[in-house]
Each structure stands twice: as structure tokens, then as C-alpha cells.
A and B are shown apart, each in its own frame.
Chain A
Amino acid sequence: MLRITRTPIVVERLVRAVRARGAGAIVTFVGTTRDHNAGRRVMRLEYEAFAPMAVAEMRRLAARATRRWRLEKVAMVHRIGRVPVGQASVAIAVSAAHRVEAFAACHWLIDRLKEIVPIWKREHFPGGRVWIGPQVTPPRDFVSKRRRAVSVARRRRTTKAT
């Protein structure tokens, strides 16, 4: 199960999707929308995706994690559109024979998802709204040379894209 959705995420569905007879552990991560950021109140968040590419990148990450940690199954769902505070915006579930691999893979997957899957977040706060991004170019070791992430901006120009 690898998808982008406009409806609330049901974590139990991801857990069900990764159940396997060979699994001794299922680890889940749920990212939820927080009511504050950088010292200001957040009223809601809004996510935008380049959906077909986002799903393709999720598939590549899942395949890579499955090879590296010998996972049984992977499920990743990201919600887009308006997401009220306190709700899940992203969820990941992985199953593996043992918990050590399941924890490591789940951690790696959420970090890579945030770095390379084309999904953007806009924060709505009292008095305005702003696009949020890490403003960094991700490390280059996790994608093949052919499809590395790039930044064409000059290094000294690091003003926020907001």
C-alpha cells in the first residue's frame, strides 16, 4: 500500500496491509499536524503533492528498504489537502522478522520520504501562511547518479523559498 490520499489516514489499514506470516514485528510511524511551529501558533496545515511522482518515489524507497533490512512488507500513505491540527498527515508501517530491522527501516523511510518525495507543506497561522521546507539539498548517497536530487541555485543564495 503506497498512496497519496485526500481522506483521513486509518493507521490500522496500514498495519493490516503489512501483516505477514514471516513477520515477528510491525513498526509504525505516524506524523501528525502540530499546533505550533517556530514559536507561533499553527491553525492548520495544507499539503500539495506531485502525486504520480510521489508514489513512484515511495515505491523506490520501499524497494530499497526491503532489500536493505529484508522486510516482509512496507506501507506508506501521505495525506494531501487541508489537514486540521492533531491529525495524521503521513503514516508508515513495516514488517520484518525481527524488531531491530523494522525500527531501523521505519526510521530511514520517514527521513528519506521527507527529503525526496515531492510533497510540500503550507502552514496557516494567525495573520498568514507560508510554505515550509528544509531548505537543504539532501545527501547524495541514497539515490543513483542518474536520478540524484539537485539544486541549481547558487550556494550563497540560500534565502528561504517562502
Chain B
Amino acid sequence: MRLRFFAALRERLGRGGERTVAPGTSAGALWRELVAEQPELARLRVRIAVNREYVEPSHRLEDDDEVAFFPPVSGGR
């Protein structure tokens, strides 16, 4: 599958790339794998989109998915 990172995450992890995960891995589990590799990521809050739609952490990933990790969007009031 293809991973993509944006904003503060892109600066830490690069733009993304190909990655293989075990069958049945959830979006949240994939993020925990990334955190295990780079523990400083644990302090970041992320939202996840699969194939350009937001998903719950429990969402099961497929081989050809595009998985995007976002910090919170731009805000203001």
C-alpha cells in the first residue's frame, strides 16, 4: 500500500512511500507500527484517511489502499 504524510508529519517522516502490512491490519494498528519505529511520534495526534476518505482506527486495510496520515487541519476561529 501507499502511505502519505502531510504538514508536521511530512517533515518528520517524508512524503511517504510503499509499505507492506500483515493481512487484516487496521489503520490504527499501522499508525502504532509507525510509532513503534519512531517513538517521538506518540505525542502527535493524527487522523487517517484511506483512499481519500476519513476512517476510524478500526478500519481494515487492503493491499492497494492509499493511507494518508494527517495532523489536525488548520483551525482558527
Contacts and interface: CB of A to CB of B under 8 A. Distances in A.
Nearest to B68: A50
Interface residues of B, number: 32
A56 B74 CA distance: 17
A20 B76 CA distance: 31
A153 B32 CA distance: 9
Interface string A123-162: 0000000011111110000010011111111000111011
A48 B7 contact: yes
Contacts of A153: 42-46
Contacts, number: 114
**Majority SS at the chain A contact face:** loop
Nearest to A48: B7
A150 B6 contact: no
A117 B72 contact: no
A97 interface: no
Given A148-B54, A150-B56, A133 B73 contact: yes
Interface in B24-53: 27-28, 31-32, 42-49, 52-53
Interface of B: 4, 6-10, 27-28, 31-32, 42-49, 52-57, 68, 70-76
Interface of A: 31, 47-48, 50, 52-53, 56, 114-122, 131-137, 143, 146-153, 157-159, 161-162
5 contacts: A114-B73, A117-B73, A133-B7, A137-B45, A152-B57
